[in-house]
C-alpha cells in the first residue's frame, strides 16, 4: 500500500506549489548519493519522494489524487516510471539534470574537455626558410581508440555506472564544522570523472578509451619564416575527452645558422674577402647567395668595410612587403707571407705612393659612422 504523498513529502494538504517544491528539494538533498551513499534505502526513498513530487506538483494529477487517492491516479493513466534507472545517481540526473547539480552546489559530472596542445620543433636551413618547405613532423598524440570508439568497453560489452561515485564522476567528503557543512569535491579516481566504467575493458586501450599513437603530419613552412616562429595547426593535438574537441599542434621552426650569412630582418649580410691589390685595381669576384654564387663587381679603390648591396637577394617577406637585400661587406685582406719577389715589387710600388693615392672621398669620422651603421 503506497504511502500518502503528503506524508512522504511532509507537507500539509493545503501546501502550495512552492512548499511542495521546497519539501522535495530538502528530501532530495538528504537522499543524494554523494551525501547518503551508506543508506541502502536511499534509492527507494528517493523514488517515493520523486513520485509524490511528480503528482503533487502537477495540478491535474494532484486534484485526481485528492479526489480519488492512489487508485484514482492509476485509473487516470498515471504510472510512476522510475524503475528503469540503474542507480539513484542516474535517477537524480534524470529527474533534475544539470539544474539539480547547480541548485545543490555541486558541479556537473565531467563534461567535454578539449584535448591538450602539442608542440614539436622542426629544423630547416636558411635556404629552406627563404623558399618555404613542406615538412613532415611526427609525434605521439592521445587518440580515440578505434577498437572501442573511445568508450573503453570491449565491443559488445556493457558500460555500467561507476560503483565508487555512483555515476556522479565525483567524490564528495562532507564534514560538519563550526561554520556549517563543508563539502570537498574531487574527481572520482575509479572512473576518472566519467561516472561510468566498462564491465570488460577494451583490450586495445585497457579501458581508457584512448591510445597513444604516432602521428605524422605534413606542414607547410611558409617562405620568409624566422627562427623560433610557430606554425599553428588546428585540431592536430591530443584528442578531447568525453566528446571535447582536439587540441592544437604548434610547430616551432628552428632555422639553422648558415655560416655564410647573417640575417638582419629580411636582409642578409655576407662578407667577401678582397685582396688589397684587387681592391685597388678593381675586379669581379663570385659571392655566395641563397641561389648559388653570382659575380659581383668590385670597383677600383674599394675600401675595407664598404658594402655592396645586391637588391632582392635577401629573404622574402613572410606576409606582405618586399624581399630583402643581400649586403656584401668588403673585407680587404692584406697579403701575408710575401715571397722576396712580391716584397721587391711592393717596395717599389710603395715608393711611388703620393698623397693623392691616400685621399678619401669622405673624412675619417664620416667613414667610421658609415661602417658602424653597417
Q: How far is the CB of 167 from Zn ion (least distance, A)?
A: 7
CA 213 to chain centre: 17
Tell me the window of 85-93, 131-139, 146-154, 243-251 that interacts with Zn ion (CB under 5 A).
146-154
Q: Is 154 near Zn ion (CB under 5 A)?
A: no
Q: From the list 19, 57, 114, 204, which residue makes contact with Zn ion (rule: CB under 5 A)?
A: 204
Q: Is 210 near Zn ion (CB under 5 A)?
A: no
Residues in 47-106 that interact with Zn ion by CB under 5 A: none
Whole-number Å distance between alpha carbons of 188 and 170: 5
Kindly tell me which of 205 and 279 has the beta carbon lying closer to Zn ion.
205
Q: From the list 88, 148, 253, 290, which residue makes contact with Zn ion (rule: CB under 5 A)?
A: 148
Q: Is 205 near Zn ion (CB under 5 A)?
A: yes
Q: From the list 27, 91, 202, 326, which residue makes contact with Zn ion (rule: CB under 5 A)?
A: 202
Cα distances (angstroms) measured from residue 102 to each of 89, 97, 106: 15, 9, 6
Q: Is 153 near Zn ion (CB under 5 A)?
A: no
Q: How far is the CB of 243 from Zn ion (least distance, A)?
A: 16
Residues in 7-36 that interact with Zn ion by CB under 5 A: none
Among candidates 267, 317, 256, which has minimal Cα distance to 127?
256
Cα distances (angstroms) measured from residue 159 to each of 19, 197, 330: 39, 6, 76
Whole-number Å distance between alpha carbons of 52 and 54: 6
Contact criterion met (CB below 8 Å) for 142 and 212: yes
Q: Is 164 near Zn ion (CB under 5 A)?
A: yes
Tell me the window of 16-24, 34-42, 162-170, 227-235 that interacts with Zn ion (CB under 5 A).
162-170
Among candidates 173, 207, 210, which has minimal Cα distance to 190?
207
Count of all residues that appear for the chain in the document? 374
Q: How far is the CB of 204 from Zn ion (least distance, A)?
A: 4
Tell me the window of 96-104, 158-166, 313-321, 357-365 that interacts with Zn ion (CB under 5 A).
158-166
Give the dihedral sign, CA 204/206/208/212.
negative
Q: Is 124 near Zn ion (CB under 5 A)?
A: no
Q: Which single residue is written with the C-alpha cell 512552492?
A: 18
Whole-number Å distance between alpha carbons of 191 and 161: 9
Kindly tell me which of 193 and 324 has the beta carbon lying closer to Zn ion.
193
Using CB under 5 A as the criterion, which residues of the chain lie in contact with Zn ion when the complex forms? 145, 147-148, 162, 164-165, 188, 190-191, 202, 204-205
Amino acid at each position: 500500500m503506497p504511502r500518502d504523498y503528503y506524508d512522504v513529502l511532509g507537507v500539509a494538504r493545503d501546501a502550495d506549489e512552492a512548499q511542495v517544491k521546497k519539501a522535495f528539494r530538502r528530501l532530495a538533498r538528504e537522499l543524494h548519493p554523494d551525501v547518503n551513499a551508506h543508506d541502502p534505502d536511499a534509492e527507494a526513498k528517493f523514488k517515493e519522494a520523486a513520485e509524490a513530487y511528480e503528482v503533487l506538483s502537477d495540478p491535474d494529477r494532484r486534484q485526481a489524487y485528492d479526489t480519488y487517492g492512489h487508485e484514482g491516479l492509476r485509473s487516470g493513466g498515471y504510472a510512476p516510471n522510475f524503475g528503469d534507472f540503474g542507480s539513484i545517481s542516474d535517477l537524480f540526473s534524470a529527474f533534475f539534470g544539470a539544474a539539480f547539480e547547480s541548485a545543490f552546489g555541486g558541479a556537473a559530472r565531467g563534461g567535454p574537455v578539449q584535448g591538450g596542445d602539442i608542440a614539436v620543433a622542426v629544423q630547416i636551413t636558411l635556404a629552406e626558410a627563404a623558399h618555404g618547405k613542406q615538412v613532415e613532423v611526427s609525434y605521439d598524440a592521445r587518440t580515440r581508440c578505434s577498437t572501442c570508439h573511445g568508450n573503453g568497453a570491449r565491443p559488445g560489452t556493457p558500460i555500467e555506472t561507476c560503483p565508487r561515485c555512483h555515476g556522479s564522476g565525483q567524490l564528495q567528503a562532507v564534514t560538519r564544522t563550526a561554520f556549517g557543512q563543508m563539502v570537498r569535491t574531487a574527481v572520482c579516481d575509479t572512473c576518472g570523472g566519467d561516472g561510468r566504467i566498462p564491465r570488460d575493458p577494451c583490450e586495445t586501450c585497457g579501458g581508457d578509451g584512448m591510445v597513444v599513437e604516432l602521428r605524422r603530419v605534413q606542414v607547410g613552412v611558409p617562405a620568409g619564416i624566422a627562427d623560433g616562429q610557430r606554425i599553428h595547426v588546428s585540431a592536430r593535438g591530443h584528442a578531447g575527452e568525453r566528446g571535447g574537441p582536439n587540441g592544437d599542434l604548434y610547430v616551432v621552426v628552428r632555422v639553422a645558422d648558415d655560416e655564410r650569412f647573417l640575417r638582419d630582418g629580411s636582409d642578409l649580410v655576407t662578407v667577401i674577402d678582397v685582396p688589397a691589390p684587387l681592391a685597388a685595381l678593381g675586379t669581379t669576384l663570385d659571392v655566395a647567395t641563397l641561389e648559388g654564387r653570382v659575380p659581383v663587381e668590385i670597383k677600383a679603390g674599394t675600401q675595407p668595410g664598404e658594402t655592396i648591396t645586391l637588391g632582392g637577394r635577401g629573404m622574402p617577406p613572410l606576409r606582405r612587403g618586399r624581399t630583402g637585400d643581400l649586403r656584401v661587406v668588403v673585407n680587404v685582406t692584406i697579403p701575408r707571407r710575401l715571397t722576396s719577389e712580391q716584397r721587391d715589387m711592393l717596395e717599389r710600388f710603395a715608393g711611388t705612393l703620393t698623397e693623392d693615392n691616400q685621399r678619401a672621398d669622405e673624412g675619417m669620422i664620416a667613414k667610421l659612422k658609415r661602417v658602424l651603421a653597417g
